[in-house]
């Protein structure tokens, strides 16, 4: 991370609001209007951070949740949009990953969490109806987007 | 009153693509509903990790059968950001031209489907007749009516000659005349209003809570359009308005889509008038430097989102796609609650679902 992007990130109002909750912030993801901010958090602070975004900054739009298997870890990226895109990133252990559901804070997250549950096996605690979104009934293989799964 | 459960789908004449609903009824009124999707899941995100960046363009154009171009284009935008290359101006204009044609095509197709489901076959015939003009233009531009394959990483691969340009402008005049007439008919059609007003209601509050995008959100008063809010060239050079309504019912969605169709026809003309001369593409290396990129575009149904991560090879490490239908699907139980069984088809059509997109 360059010095410039670090400076740019610390002046951001989102970073200031989440100051006590996040591990680091950097403008890392490339995009058309300029690089987008990524805020890394410990998974236990996720709900608190989302609540701050909603209550203090008026953020409402969660675009989606991207899961990615990077053994031995799993990362979840919560992509938000408010005039500009920005991302909250959490890391989970690859074995039996668990994260707190944010469906009660942002009801629009319901299908995204179900998709990540089906594709990566992340259990979202507190989700009202946690079942795979896209997999067939009775799917008993490993979650298909995990690295241990090899396609034919 | 007796409770009845009516299953709709996964195969049902009302739905153009497979999706399953259980509709719980008390008498004629819907009390609750559940939805099951995934019948056309093709594992596209996984397949992307096993193909090269170039091969993926071909694959991603097949995420959707209506907004095929916008998917390939949004993916190319993300890869171009990773490569740090800027497409030539002429290519950006040609991509935008096809985007707008696709929007007209999609909205006219939707108008036909809604009218057909209500039983207004005349409007269905008019809408689909007018849609033929767009398909002809797209065929002249790219050689394909649905899959256009004009995107390459670094630009586009087909050009508009001066003769093509004149001919397309002429076809656009025809289209403008026909669409204006269709919009006039639709706006004053009493039976369409009776069937759609107050049906499928979504408040601005609900639209925000469920993160809904596109015409469905704009019909409930959410003024959001990625073409204006996160503009890529040439949208930052073009002036256009974003129609919104506040009623939040299927009628408001009809008006928003019809007004957007007219805006898009105008945009196509502006693009063809202002398109600069120049090269069509710049050379792009096969290997992409490590990094992450996000791109967002306004598809006919709303914001399309791509996240691409590269590990430095010629194959992406992760491609994530979020299509605009997904948040709309989440709102269906809310929209269906309290409507009569006869209006279920109006609610389902009103959203403009694209199941193949949502399932990927």
Q: What angle do CA B102, B107, B109 make, to 5 degrees?
A: 95
Nearest to B359 among A81, A108, A134 (CB): A134
DSSP A22: -
* C-alpha–C-alpha distance, residues A133 and A117, integer Å: 8
Tell me how far apart the 2 most distant CA atoms of chain A are, in Å.
51
Residue A29 and residue A86 in contact, taking contact as beta carbons nearer than 8 Å? no
Q: What is the DSSP string of B100-118?
A: HHHHHHHHHHHHHHHHHHH
Say what the pLDDT of residue A94 is. 83
Domains of chain A and CATH, by start: 7-125 (3.30.460.80)
Q: Is the dihedral of CA A106, B325, A111, A144 positive or negative?
A: negative
Q: What is the pLDDT of residues A57-69, one digit of tens each?
A: 888 899 999 999 9
Q: Chain A contact for B128, CB < 8 A?
A: no
Mutate to test the interface with A, among B320, B331, B334 (most CBs of A within 10 A): B320
Number of inter-chain CB pairs under 8 A, A vs B: 98
pTM recorded for the entire structure: 0.90
What ipTM does this complex have? Answer: 0.87
Q: Is A12 helix (H, G, I), strand (E, B) or coil?
A: coil
- What local confidence, expressed as pLDDT, does residue B360 receive? 86
The number of beta carbons lying within 10 Å of the beta carbon of residue A71 is 9
Among B292, B294, B330, the residue with its CB nearest the CB of A111 is B330
**Interior/surface letters B72-106, b for 16+ CB within 10 angstroms, e for the rest:** bbbbbbbbbbbbebebbbbbbbbbbbbbbbbbbbb
The answer to whether A66 faces chain B, any CB pair under 8 Å, is yes
What span, in angstroms and rounded, lies between the C-alpha atoms of B19 and B11? 7
Indicate the average pLDDT of chain A. 85
Q: Inform me whether the pLDDT recorded for B326 exceeds 70.
A: yes
CATH number listed for the domain at residues B41-333+342-359: 1.10.645.10
- Which residue, among B58, B42, B56, has the nearest Cα to B315 in the 3D structure? B56
pLDDT value at residue B322: 93
Asked whether the predicted pLDDT for residue B43 surpasses 70, the reply is yes
pLDDT mean over B266-287: 91
Partners of B45 on chain A (C-beta within 8 Å) are 119, 145
Which of A109, A135, A145 is opposite residue B38, by nearest beta carbon?
A135
Considering only CB atoms, B230 lies closest to which of A29, A32, A145, namely A32
**pLDDT surpassing 70 at residue B80:** yes
- To the nearest whole Å, the CA of A85 is away from the closest chain B CA by 9
Q: Which residues of A touch B92 (CB under 8 A)?
A: none
Q: Do A83 and B46 touch (CB under 8 A)?
A: no
How many residues make up chain B in this entry? Answer: 360
- Tell me the per-residue pLDDT of A70-98, one tens digit each, with 9 for 90 and over: 888 999 999 998 888 889 999 999 888 99
């Amino acid at each position: 991370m360059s010095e410039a992007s670090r400076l740019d990130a610390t002046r951001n109002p989102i970073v200031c609001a989440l100051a006590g909750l996040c591990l680091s912030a950097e403008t890392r993801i490339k995009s058309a209007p300029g690089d987008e901010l990524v805020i890394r958090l410990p998974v236990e602070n996720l709900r608190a951070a989302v609540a701050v975004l909603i209550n203090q900054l008026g953020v409402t739009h969660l675009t989606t949740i991207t899961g990615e298997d990077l053994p031995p870890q799993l990362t979840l990226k919560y992509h938000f949009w408010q005039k500009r895109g920005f991302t909250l990133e959490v890391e989970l252990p690859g074995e039996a990953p668990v994260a707190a559901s944010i469906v009660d804070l942002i009801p629009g997250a319901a299908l995204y969490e179900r998709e990540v549950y089906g594709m990566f096996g992340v259990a979202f605690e507190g989700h009202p109806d946690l079942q795979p979104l896209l997999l067939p009934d009775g799917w008993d293989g490993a979650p298909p987007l995990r690295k241990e799964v090899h396609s034919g | 009153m007796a409770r009845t459960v009516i299953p709709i789908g996964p195969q049902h004449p009302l739905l153009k693509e497979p999706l399953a609903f259980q509709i719980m009824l008390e008498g004629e009124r819907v009390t609750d509903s559940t939805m099951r999707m995934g019948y056309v899941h093709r594992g596209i995100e996984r397949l992307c990790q096993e193909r090269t960046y170039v091969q993926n363009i071909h694959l991603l154009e097949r995420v959707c059968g209506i907004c095929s171009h916008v998917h390939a284009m949004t993916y190319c935008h993300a890869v171009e950001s990773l490569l740090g290359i800027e497409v030539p101006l002429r290519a950006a204009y040609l991509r935008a031209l096809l985007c707008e044609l696709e929007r007209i095509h999609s909205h006219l197709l939707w108008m036909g489907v809604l009218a057909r489901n209500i039983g207004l076959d005349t409007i269905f015939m008019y809408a689909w007749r007018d849609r033929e003009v767009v398909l002809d233009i797209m065929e002249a531009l790219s050689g394909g009516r649905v899959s256009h394959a004009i995107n390459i990483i670094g630009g586009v691969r087909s050009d508009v000659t001066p003769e093509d340009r004149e001919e397309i402008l002429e076809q656009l005049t025809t289209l403008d005349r026909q669409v204006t007439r269709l919009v006039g008919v639709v706006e004053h059609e009493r039976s369409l209003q009776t069937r759609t007003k107050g049906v499928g209601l979504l408040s601005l509050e609900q639209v925000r809570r469920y993160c809904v995008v596109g015409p469905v959100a704009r019909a409930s008063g959410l003024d959001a359009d990625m073409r204006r809010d996160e503009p890529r060239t040439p949208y930052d050079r073009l002036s256009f308005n974003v129609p919104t309504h506040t009623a939040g019912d299927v009628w408001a969605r009809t008006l928003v889509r019809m007004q957007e169709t007219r805006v898009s026809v105008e945009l196509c003309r502006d693009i063809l008038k202002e398109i600069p001369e120049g090269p069509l593409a710049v050379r792009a290396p096969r290997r992409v430097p490590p990094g992450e990129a996000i791109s967002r575009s306004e598809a006919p149904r709303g914001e399309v989102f791509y996240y691409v991560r590269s590990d430095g090879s010629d194959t992406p490490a992760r491609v994530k796609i979020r299509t605009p239908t997904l948040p709309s699907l989440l709102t269906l139980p809310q929209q269906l609650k309290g409507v009569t069984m006869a209006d279920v088809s109006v609610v389902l059509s009103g959203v403009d679902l694209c199941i193949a997109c949502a399932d990927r």
